[in-house]
Every structure is written in structure tokens, then in C-alpha cells.
Amino acid sequence: MIEVNHLSKHFGAKRAVNDISFAVEKGEILGFLGPNAAGKSTTMRMITGFIPPSSGTAIIGGSDILKDSLNARKKIGYLPENAPVYPDMTVRAYLDFCAQIRGFSGQARKNRIEETLEKCFLKEVTHQTINTLSKGFKQRVCFAQSILHDPEYLILDEPTDGLDPNQKHEVRLMIREMSAKKAIILSTHILDEMEAVCTRAVIIAKGRIVADETPAELKGRSELHGAVSLSVKGADTDSFVSDLSGLDTVRTVKIVDTADGIFWARIYPVTPGPQAVDSIMAALSDKRYETVSFFVEQGRLDEVFRSITTA
């Protein structure tokens, strides 16, 4: 388990990170979200022992990153922001260096390197010098470094930054595959990514935690959550609005757009849920509205993100 206890960091008078606490269990993938300069990277750098916190600490699988730093660092795999690597080395030589540092020797080292090369799809560039590689490959080389020693705890700072959609997909698959036996923290500012990969999201803004819940719960905070979007053909908008506003499960009805005898409307229920949806459907068939499309909104993360982080 990674326990983050009251971490704070000041740079001069500026508070970059302000009293952040959370815990991540094995099997969890924690998405660390926030606008740029919210303190994501600073927090991760403190958890991995790169910069010392002004106060508070992080405990990695029982080892305090300040008091028992080496043991804590042994348990961590870390992918820093921008995926730094030594450009003058070949991919293999680089991973060999990392494997030595991680204490592997002899055949075990060779096996680990081969395995990691395979896992990260780096076979084809094994003997290439890193500075001849594209950004996506460099990112994967650094990612390979972080999982080389099969760490229990993975900390990934924007792991899919600069990758194309296919590569992003691959990296996400890899992360999800590994998550069963590991506790993973990953930072991102891509909301879809958080939704696709993470089991829990911590959102920070201006150095403080402003939300700590599952992606579904986050979506539930959305204004749009549970609203019904539908389009109706050949009907009068005014009577439609008055018909549906009359239901006690409905809060408001809004006409979004009209064109060629079809209009699009959004119905906000009083309490989101199947009951509200059922009553709306019943009302529609009662009044014989010709419904062309019908869709229950999940809620929009970007809207929630914006309202939480700018509040």
C-alpha cells in the first residue's frame, strides 16, 4: 500500500502542494488529475523521493520514503514526466544499466531485459541508439525502465503523453493488465483516459485535494447525469414541453434544437434513475410522440472537472 500522509511543499512563499493525504491499495489504479501546475508532478516527485517534502511523508509498502529511502525506492517503479532517458545509449544497454542498478545479475538480468523488451514492444529497436527513436518509442523505453524490476508500486507521470491513439491504447492495456498485483498511481489530464483506466480518481487544484472518488461517482456530480436526451418527429414543441413538464418526476424540459420537423430536447429528472426514465417513456407513448432517438446521459467529466477545479 502507498500511504501519502499530509504531504506539503513550498517553493519560497508559494505553496505548490498543500496537505495532501490518500492511500492506494494493491489492485487499485489511482488517477491523479488536475489542471496544469496544480501540483501533480511535485506530489509524485515527493512520493518517489526525488524532492524532499516541506512536511509530511509517504510510506511505500511499509517503508518511509524519508527515513528508509533506499528500501522504499526499491519497491517503486517510476516514469517521470517527459520520460527522460540517456540519448547516447542503445535501448538494450540502457535497460541493462537499469537492471544492474535494480540488483539483477547474470542470467536473471538477461531474462528480465528480454521479457521487458517483449512486453513493451521494443524488440525491433533493441540495438538502436535512443536518440534515433521517435517520441513514442522513447516514452516506451522509459516505461520499460519503470516496470523492469516488476515493482509492487508504480508511479507514472503522464504515461501516455505524446503517444498516438494506438500507442495510448497499448499503454493503457499494459497498465490494466499489471494492475491486479500492483498499486498504481498515474497522473493525467486526459479525462477519457482516467475513465478508461482508473478505479479511483483524486483531483487536485492549487495544491489541494478537491475530489477523491470513483469515475462513476464523479460523473454522477454532473448536471447532465441521468438527463434524457431525445429527438421527436412531427410534433409541436410547446405542447411537448408542457406535457412533459407536467410529470412529477421531471424537473425541467429544454428544447435544444429544431430542424426539418424534428426537434431535440433534454429532460432533467428530479432524481436521476430508472424510475424517472420509465415515467418519461410512458408519457411519450401515452401522448403518441414519434420518438426518433432516446438516450440517457451519463454525465460529462469535463464539465465536472471544470466546476470542481475552478470553484
Partner 1 sequence: MRTNESLANVTAIFKRELFGYFGSAVAYVFIVIFLLLLGFFTFYISNFFELGQADLRAFFQWHPWVFMFLIPAVAMRLWAEERRMGTIELILTFPVTVWEAILGKFLAAWIFVGTALALTFPMVITVSYLGNPDLGATLCAYIGSFLMAGAFLSVGSMTSAITRSQVVSFIVAIVICLFFILAGYPPVIRMLSGWAPVWLVNIVSNSSFLTHFLSIERGVLDLRDLFYYLSVIAFMLFVNGVIIQNRRT
Spatial CA neighbour of 77 closest among 107, 33, 44, 111: 44
Of the two residues 116 and 222, which places its CB atom closer to partner 1 in the complex? 116
Q: Which of 7, 76, 117, 147 binds partner 1 (CB under 8 A)?
A: 76
Give me the least distance between CB of 178 and partner 1, in Å please. 19
Query: Other CB atoms closer than 10 Å to residue 237's CB: what's the count?
Result: 13
Give me the least distance between CB of 1 and partner 1, in Å please. 19
If you write DSSP's letter for every residue of 1-49 in order, what string do you get?
-EEEEEEEEEETTEEEEEEEEEEE-TT-EEEEE-STTSSHHHHHHHHTT
Q: What is the phi/psi pair of residue 183, to 5°?
A: -100, 125
Q: Cell numbers of 102, please?
A: 535494480
Q: Which of 7, 20, 85, 185 binds partner 1 (CB under 8 A)?
A: 85
Give me the least distance between CB of 177 and partner 1, in Å please. 24
Of the two residues 44 and 209, which places its CB atom closer to partner 1 in the complex? 44
**88-147 residues near partner 1, rule: CB under 8 A:** 88-89, 93, 97-98, 100-103, 105, 142, 145
Of the two residues 51 and 196, which places its CB atom closer to partner 1 in the complex? 51
Question: What is the distance between the alpha carbons of residues 157 and 262, in angstroms, rounded to a whole number?
Answer: 47
- Looking only at the bridges linking them, the beta strands covering 250-259 and 200-205 are unpaired
Q: Which of 32, 78, 137, 268 binds partner 1 (CB under 8 A)?
A: 78
Q: Which of 27, 62, 84, 234 binds partner 1 (CB under 8 A)?
A: 84
From residue 142 to residue 171, what is the string marking binding to partner 1 with x (rule CB under 8 A)?
Answer: x--x--------------------------
In terms of C-beta density within 10 A (0-12 exposed, 13-18 middle, 19 or more buried), how is residue 192 classed?
exposed
Contact 300, 222 (CB under 8 A): yes
Cβ partners under 8 Å of residue 101, min gap 6: none
One-letter amino acid at 71 equals N
82 lines the binding site for partner 1 (CB under 8 A) = yes
**245-304 residues near partner 1, rule: CB under 8 A:** none
**18-57 residues near partner 1, rule: CB under 8 A:** 45, 48-51
**28-150-71 Cα angle (round to 5):** 90
Give me the least distance between CB of 51 and partner 1, in Å please. 5
Of 70-78, 177-185, 231-239, 301-309, the window that binds partner 1 (rule: CB under 8 A) is 70-78
Of the two residues 87 and 273, which places its CB atom closer to partner 1 in the complex? 87
Give me the least distance between CB of 153 and partner 1, in Å please. 12
Q: What are the CA-CA distances from residue 268 to residues 80, 128, 142, 249 (Å)?
A: 43, 57, 47, 9
Of the two residues 26 and 73, which places its CB atom closer to partner 1 in the complex? 73
**Positions in the binding site for partner 1 (CB under 8 A):** 45, 48-51, 70-71, 73-74, 76, 78, 80-82, 84-89, 93, 97-98, 100-103, 105, 142, 145
